[in-house]
């Protein structure tokens, strides 16, 4: 109901409404009664003097080098790149995330050759929601947007495009609520129309391939079954036929 500020702008604020866009550990989301979201944990190096294709962003899937997620090399220039891993804690089996990233940079059969002469300029860490939309994205005079709402594609961990769209919808919903009294519940339907189905499907796909993520043999079998166009479909949260028809634990269904 209110916010106490200290410092130069001290005082008490009583907002007419609140947009919670405060990230994957959202205080607003917890206040609304949502349980903690499942998250991926990420660590990334900014590296220079690397031998990479500056026109290609590379993703590496491996139960050994990026358990429960993937590693990446994203070029920032001809010899500079962001190099990182994003995994889920339940797949780490006692490993520490910095060691996983170091192992990828040092030992991966392909990536290590590209990164062998690289120098680390900066280290970044963060969390990425991995379980889809939060239980409630609207309650009373509060709405959630972006990572706070779980607006992240579970297939890739990509959340910036969804956050931009959700932020626009949140701002318009707030304006409509304050100026003409449009119920804030409209925010839920607007989000659903914009990307709700894709978000739900991305979680379904992630759950389908969860078993495969525990074995490089199964990961290789999964990727061998998908054409490049089908891989594009997966990244866009569309379910290709091989995923619908195959049980990746070992049998057909």
pLDDT of residue 227: 82
Cβ–Cβ under 8 Å, residues 215 and 63: yes
Backbone Cα Rg of the chain: 21
Which range, of 23-37, 86-100, 214-228, averages the lowest pLDDT?
A: 214-228
pLDDT band at 237 (very low <50, low <70, confident <90, very high): low
Phi and psi, residue 51, nearest 5°: -100, 90
pLDDT above 50 (res 248)? no
Q: What domains, with CATH codes, occur in the chain?
A: 17-37+131-206 (3.50.50.60), 39-129 (3.30.9.10), 210-245 (no CATH)
Mean pLDDT of 29-50: 94
**pLDDT: which is higher, 188 or 222:** 188
Can you give the pLDDT at residue 243? 60
Nearest Cα neighbor of 186 from 11, 17, 13 is 17
Report the candidate in 95, 44, 43, 92 with the shortest Cα–Cα distance to residue 67: 92
CA distance 108 to 238: 30
3-state helix, strand, coil in the chain (%, to 5): 40, 25, 40
Residues 6+ apart with CB under 8 A from 202: 132, 153, 154, 155, 156, 237
Instruction: Say if residue 235's pLDDT is above 80.
Output: no
For the record, the structure tokens of 77 come out as 């220039």
The rounded distance, in Å, linking the Cα atoms of 109 and 118 is: 16
Tokens 């890739």 — which residue? 156
Q: What is the pLDDT of residues 171-183, one digit of tens each?
A: 999 999 999 999 9
Each residue's pLDDT tens digit, 113-136: 999 999 999 999 999 998 889 999
Q: Of 29-33, 68-72, 200-204, which range is least confident? A: 200-204
* List of E strands, the chain: 3-5, 11-13, 18-20, 39-48, 58-60, 70-77, 80-88, 119-129, 138-139, 142-144
pTM over 0.85: no
Region 219-224: mean pLDDT is: 82
* 191-185-3 Cα angle (round to 5): 100
The pLDDT tens digits for 77-105 are 999 999 999 998 888 989 999 999 999 99
């Amino acid at each position: 109901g209110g916010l106490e500020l200290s410092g130069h702008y001290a005082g008490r604020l009583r907002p007419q409404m609140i947009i919670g866009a405060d990230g994957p550990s959202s205080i607003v989301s917890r206040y609304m009664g949502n349980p903690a979201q499942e998250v991926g944990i990420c660590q990334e190096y900014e590296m220079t003097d690397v031998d990479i294709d500056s026109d290609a962003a590379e993703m590496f899937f491996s139960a050994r080098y990026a358990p429960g997620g993937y590693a990446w090399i994203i070029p920032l220039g001809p010899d500079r790149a962001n190099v990182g891993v994003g995994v889920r804690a339940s797949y780490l089996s006692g490993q520490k995330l910095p060691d996983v990233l170091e192992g990828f940079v040092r030992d991966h059969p392909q990536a290590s050759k590209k990164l062998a002469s690289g120098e680390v300029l900066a280290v970044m860490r963060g969390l990425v929601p991995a379980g889809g939309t939060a239980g409630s994205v609207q309650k009373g005079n509060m709405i959630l947007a972006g990572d706070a709402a779980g607006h992240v594609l579970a297939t890739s961990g990509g959340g910036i495009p969804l956050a931009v769209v959700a932020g626009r919808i949140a701002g318009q919903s707030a304006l409509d609520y304050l100026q003409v009294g449009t119920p804030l519940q409209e925010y839920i339907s607007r989000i659903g129309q914009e990307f709700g189905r894709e978000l739900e499907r991305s979680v379904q796909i992630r759950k389908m391939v969860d078993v495969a993520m525990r074995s490089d043999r199964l990961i290789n079998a999964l990727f061998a079954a998908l054409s490049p166009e089908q891989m594009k479909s997966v990244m866009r949260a569309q379910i290709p036929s091989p995923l619908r028809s195959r049980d990746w634990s070992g049998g057909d269904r």
